[in-house]
Amino acid sequence: MGGIIEGTFVIQKEELKGRIEDYDAEHFGFTSMACYYNDLFEKDNTVLVLDIADDGTFCKKFLASHPVSNSFIADGSKVGFNSIRFFARPGETIDVTVRKVMFDFYECVYNSGSSRDVERWLRTKRKLEGVTKPLWKFDGTFDEANEVADEVWQRAMARLLKVSRSEDYTPMEVQLALADLQAKFGMDYIGCVVRIANGLVKHEQRDSVWYTEILDSEEWKKYLDYETYAPMRRIDYDNPLLFASSSYDLLQNRVQYAKPVREDMYKGILSEEGGMVVNYENYSKKLANGLAALRKFMGTNRENLTAQMCVYQEMAQEFDTWRNTDDLLDRLFPLYLDALKTPYIRQKAEQFRDRRLAQTELATPLPDIPAAELIRNLNAKFPGRFLVIDFWGMSCGPCRAAIQASKDLRTRVAKRDDVKLVFIAGERTADGSEAYHNYVNEWLTDEETICLTNGDFDRLRELFQFNGIPHYETITPDGRRVREDLRIHGYDDFDYEIMQLMERMK
């Protein structure tokens, strides 16, 4: 009945292709689908955009270093279909057919690959979603939060049992569903803890100086206490299927940055001003402290997979600092590598190092694709200038805070003839919402502002390989993208960073 959407997901072979039978963009309401994608061994999340041609054909290429579960989603769909969920292992092809079953309602049929093996879970996993919702907006004490967490966990396990039996899940589907629930539970629980902690702090500005006051010292002590986080020990941090959950990257990040972990990680290495001197001794102590803190937090006596991924992410984040500081990289990389006991993670770390060291150019040309034309046009509009592009959005509080705090800096930059700030935001339509225009008129009146549809904004996210905002890119006057460790990363150190960049680019 009706039209058919056919596609092939090729993971690591880098191809997703197919077609939509009887495709009509006006009827379907979309011309592209987007996947908010994360490979855990890459430094940043990104967006994959699947464009659908007028004749309904589409083709996409991408890589995966580990099993992945995710969705391609259509924004603004007018029919009863807006997403394709998939599960795939690296190197395989997943063939998907989305077929109209009645009226404008559709179902996914998985014809091959791992998605076919777990299609019941893919079709019904929505029945397991939302079970951790009580943690999202909980308002109370830490002890009360843990009582809610216990209830949420019991309810989640009961729902998994009920759904797996009613849908006749295979053992593999049960294990995937369990890993996904664990990742979501841990992510939402720490989010709940942080939200409670934020309510315990009062920030006040007096005489241009910001002061912080802890409103309840006893509750704050619990925020720093490992035992407060006991609900997190229900998670099997050594389970490789956690990697397949789209929530795992946030879980791992929140474990890595949990308050007691960070407090212990920096013990004995911070200066009186609160910073850390960049040297071998401090980083080696930070690594040892961090591993001990992670073991304590997760209730283990060894470096499990999640602890190793925290080490890997630390290495990836600090790599450019090490590379640009004397012989620090040669001394620290083997130390961090030794903490990666799993051969595959060690191999990925070595590949990361080799790939980054192979980047000897200070800036690289933009690819010859339509998404890059906007950047080339900006180069033509502001000849002879470095472009510093601020990708932001109305729904992003940190974006607006950075824009508002940089007002004086931007006044100085406006007087320069060698740098141009450009502000690019995504909205539902390229005309922008009333709220967008009101904000621009108040804070960005004299700036170069560009409003794109969310789809076109996603294409720039894919071009520059980022997902979260604010995000900053630096483009040379001749239209090349500045290397990550040299580009401008915001406004806090803008003057210093732009001076350093221009010195290096001479």
Residue 453: the pLDDT is: 93
465 in any annotated domain: yes
Average pLDDT value over all residues in the chain:
91
Alpha carbons within 13 A on the beta-carbon side of 77: 16
Task: Assess whether 352 and 381 both reside in one domain.
Answer: no
Residue with the two structure tokens 């939200």: 195
Q: Select from 358, 386, 413 the last residue of a domain.
A: 358
User: Does 373 fall in a domain?
Assistant: yes
Per-residue model confidence as pLDDT tens digits over 457-468: 999 999 999 988
Q: Judge whether residue 16 has pLDDT over 80.
A: no
* 289 and 347 inside one domain: yes
Structural domain including 19 reads 4-117
Domain termination site, one of 219, 246, 273: 246
For residue 405, tell me if it sits in a domain: yes
Query: CA–CA distance from 155 to each of 54, 128, 158, 471 (Å)?
Result: 46, 10, 5, 38
| The pLDDT of residue 439 | 96
Q: Which two tokens stand for residue 136?
A: 């999202």
**433 shares its domain with 499:** yes
d(CA 372, CA 455): 14
Report if residue 251 sits inside a domain: no
> What is the amino acid identity at position 388?
V
Place of tokens 């005309």: 431
Per DSSP bridges, beta strands 480-482 and 201-206 are unpaired
Ranges 52-61, 268-277, 439-448: which has the least confidence: 52-61
How many Cα atoms occupy the beta-carbon half-sphere of 341 within 13 Å? 9
Q: What is the pLDDT of residues 110-121, one digit of tens each?
A: 988 889 999 999
Q: What is the pLDDT of residues 467-498, one digit of tens each?
A: 889 999 999 999 999 998 899 999 999 999 99
Residue 310 and residue 237 in one domain? no
Helix (H, G, I), strand (E, B) or coil at 56: coil
Helix (H) or strand (E) holding 40: none
Task: Say which DSSP state 483 is in.
Answer: P
Query: ω before 260 within 30° of 0 (cis)?
Result: no
Q: Are residues 166 and 235 in the same domain?
A: yes
Last residue of a domain, one of 298, 326, 358: 358
Q: Which two tokens stand for residue 81?
A: 């279909």
The total domain count for the chain is: 4
**In terms of domains, do 303 and 401 share one?**
no
Pair 57, 111 in one domain: yes
**Are residues 452 and 371 part of one domain?**
yes
Same-domain check for residues 371 and 500 = yes
Domain-located, residue 252:
no
Cα–Cα nearest to 313, from 276, 361, 352: 352
